[in-house]
Amino acid sequence: MKLKLKVCRNLEEVRKFTDKGYCPVRCVEGKSVIVDELKLSPFENDLAIRVSEEHHGARFHDPRFVTRWNIGDDIDAETCLIVAMLAGIVLVVPKAVAHVTSQFNIDPVGLNLTKHGIFLTWMTLIGSGEECVAETVDFYRGVMTWCSLLRDGAEDCGHLHSIFKAVCQNEEMRRKKSFDVIKRIGHIVEGILVLKGSSPNLDFSTWFGRFEDSYESFTSPAGWRFPVVVVWTAPDGQLHIRCPNVEVAEKMFGKGGLQGEFWANLESKKVWQGNNAYLHNISKLKWEEVEEIIGNLASCIKYWLPVDKGSLNRENLISLVHGDGYNSFSRSL
List, for residues 141-175, the tens digit of each pLDDT value. 899 989 888 875 444 455 566 666 666 677 677 77
pLDDT of residue 22: 96
Q: Give the pLDDT of residue 48.
A: 92
Q: 3-state class of 242 per DSSP?
A: strand
- Whether residues 190 and 297 share a domain: the answer is yes
Say if residue 284 is in the same domain as residue 232. yes
Residues 231 and 118 in one domain: no
Residue 172 lies in a domain: no
Residue 298 lies in a domain: yes
Last residue of a domain, one of 124, 156, 188: 156
Do 14 and 123 fall within a single domain? yes
d(CA 247, CA 177): 28
Mean per-residue pLDDT over the chain, rounded: 79
In a domain, 310, yes or no: yes
Residue 206 sits in the same domain as residue 98 = no
What's the confidence (pLDDT) of residue 311? 40
The CA distance from 96 to 124, in Å, is 18
Does 152 lie in the same domain as 8?
Answer: yes
Give pLDDT < 70 ranges for the chain: 71-72, 106-112, 114, 127-134, 152-168, 171, 198-200, 212-216, 304-333
Strand residues in 74-224 grouped as ranges (E): 186-189, 192-196
Distance CA 73, CA 88 (A): 26
- Which of 126, 156, 186 corresponds to the end of one domain? 156
**104: in domain:** yes
Tell me, what's the pLDDT at 312?
41
Q: b vs e for 101-121, b when ≥16 Cβ sit within 10 Å of the residue's Cβ? A: bbbbbebebbbbbeebbbbbb
Q: Is residue 289 domain-resident? A: yes
**Helix (H) or strand (E) segment spanning residue 33:** strand 32-34
- Does 169 reside within a domain? no
The answer on 189 and 135 residing in a single domain is no
* Domain extent for 42: 4-156
Whether residue 258 sits in one domain with residue 141: no
Q: Per the structure, how many domains does the chain have?
A: 2
- Do 143 and 207 fall into the same domain? no
In a domain, 170, yes or no: no
Last residue of a domain, one of 90, 123, 156: 156
**Over the stretch 81-134, which tens digit does the pLDDT of each residue have?**
999 999 999 888 888 889 888 888 766 666 667 677 788 888 877 864 444 555
Q: 146 and 209 share a domain?
A: no
Shared-domain flag, residues 149 and 191: no
pLDDT at residue 163, as a whole number: 65
Q: What is the structure's pLDDT at 266? A: 83
Q: Residues 291, 177, 234, 300: what is their CA dihedral angle, to the nearest 10 degrees?
A: -20
pTM above 0.75, yes or no: no
Is 182 found in the same domain as 54? no
Residue 84 lies in a domain: yes
